[in-house]
Amino acid sequence: MRPPGSFKIAHRHRLGRNSTAANPAVPPSPYLPSSDEDRSQRVLESLRSEILEGGEAGHLRIRRVFRSPREIYRLELEFPERDYQRITLLDRDALEELLETDEVRAIVGTDALGG
């Protein structure tokens, strides 16, 4: 009998027979973890679409949390009519990439990186 609190980890990614690193000809599986760059792009696209969907700067706040050793920003997105709130931490590069879209920059405002 197992002691309470010890659980088998079921979905751990391991290099081996199901790995694309072992066989580069195999296309990546949607069930295996993707690279950090892919994940970052998906997060930014999701944020971008939610900001554009909301359409109001009143539901969005961006604050600088840290200056050093690296600039970190806290992005708060709120939709009270749906009882939904999303808080995401971004570094300066990711925030600048998010604000590259003119529509997003118009909603956020030009002073978003000044905070």
Give bridge partners of residue 86 from the DSSP assignment.
77
Please say whether the beta carbons of 104 and 48 come within 8 A.
yes
State how far the alpha carbon of 2 is from the alpha carbons of 6, 64, 96, 114, in Å.
7, 46, 49, 54
One-letter amino acid identity for 53? E
Domain ranges of the chain: 57-115
Question: Using CA atoms, how far apart are residues 72 and 56, in angstroms rounded to an integer?
Answer: 23
pLDDT in tens, 57-99: 568 889 999 998 899 999 998 888 888 899 999 999 999 999 9
Q: Is the pLDDT of residue 34 over 60?
A: yes
CA 101 to chain centre: 17
pTM above 0.75, yes or no: no
